[in-house]
């Protein structure tokens, strides 16, 4: 069986940035996804097309096909008193911010006096990503999975 539209695929993966630093890994708990439904970033999903169980490969996905380039408009300076109640504000701290289109996650990028620079880009934006992938399993999706647009069961959505 080959990976194609509407197959549920289980993969083991290790994600590294362009410096070879491991940023994420399945570590013995394979990820299950529904192929052809944009469950994965497009560069990775495209590389999986046509693969079979046991196939191992490495793919480097440019930032634009992964989490996008860094959007400078998502980096803003805000007054430090927005963080009233936070005992010690530090670079690298992550907060949930309420924005026009819902909740977004921001990270403190810099602190200069009373001004705090917050960055709402995805943590992996601007990164070319390298995935080491092994295909562990392939099966036909259930109708319900196709309806939902994602895989169920181990490694997939639990509901």
Tell me the CA distances in angstroms from 62 to 23, 59, 128, 134, one per residue in order.
15, 10, 4, 20
Residue closer to Zn ion by CB (options 37, 148) is 148
- DSSP at 88: S
Name the H helices within the chain. Answer: 42-48, 143-148
Report in angstroms how near the CB of residue 146 gets to Zn ion at its nearest: 10
Report in angstroms how near the CB of residue 5 gets to Zn ion at its nearest: 17
Part in contact with Zn ion (CB under 5 A); list of ranges 1-9, 27-35, 98-106, 150-158 = 150-158
Binding residues for Zn ion, rule CB under 5 A, total: 2
At 2 the three-state DSSP class reads strand
Report in angstroms how near the CB of residue 102 gets to Zn ion at its nearest: 21
Residue selected from 148, 151, 154, 158 as contacting Zn ion according to rule CB under 5 A: 148
Give the x-and-dash track for 5-24 against Zn ion (CB under 5 A): --------------------
Residue closer to Zn ion by CB (options 50, 149) is 149
Q: With binding defined as CB under 5 A, does residue 122 bind Zn ion?
A: no
Return the half-sphere exposure (C-beta side, CA atoms, 13 A cut-off) of residue 16.
13
- Contact call for residues 119 and 109 (beta carbons, < 8 A): yes
Part in contact with Zn ion (CB under 5 A); list of ranges 8-16, 49-57, 124-132, 149-157 = 149-157
For the chain, the farthest-separated pair of C-alpha atoms sits apart, in whole angstroms, at: 60
Residue closer to Zn ion by CB (options 139, 148) is 148
- Contact call for residues 145 and 152 (beta carbons, < 8 A): yes
Q: Residues in the site for Zn ion, rule: CB under 5 A?
A: 148, 157
């Amino acid at each position: 069986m080959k990976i194609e539209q509407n197959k549920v695929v289980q993969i083991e993966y290790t994600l590294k940035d362009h410096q070879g630093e491991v940023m994420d890994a399945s570590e013995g708990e394979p990820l299950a996804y529904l192929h052809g439904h944009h469950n994965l970033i497009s560069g990775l999903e495209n590389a999986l097309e046509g693969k079979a169980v046991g196939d191992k490969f490495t793919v480097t996905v440019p930032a634009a096909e992964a989490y996008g380039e860094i959007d400078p408009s998502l980096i803003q300076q805000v007054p430090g008193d927005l963080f009233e109640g936070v005992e010690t504000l530090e670079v690298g701290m992550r907060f949930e911010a309420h924005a026009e289109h819902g909740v977004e996650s921001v990270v403190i990028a810099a602190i200069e006096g009373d001004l705090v620079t917050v960055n709402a880009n995805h943590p992996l934006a601007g990164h070319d990503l390298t995935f080491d992938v092994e295909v562990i399993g392939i099966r036909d999706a259930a109708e319900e999975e196709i309806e939902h647009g994602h895989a169920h069961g181990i490694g997939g959505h639990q509901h």
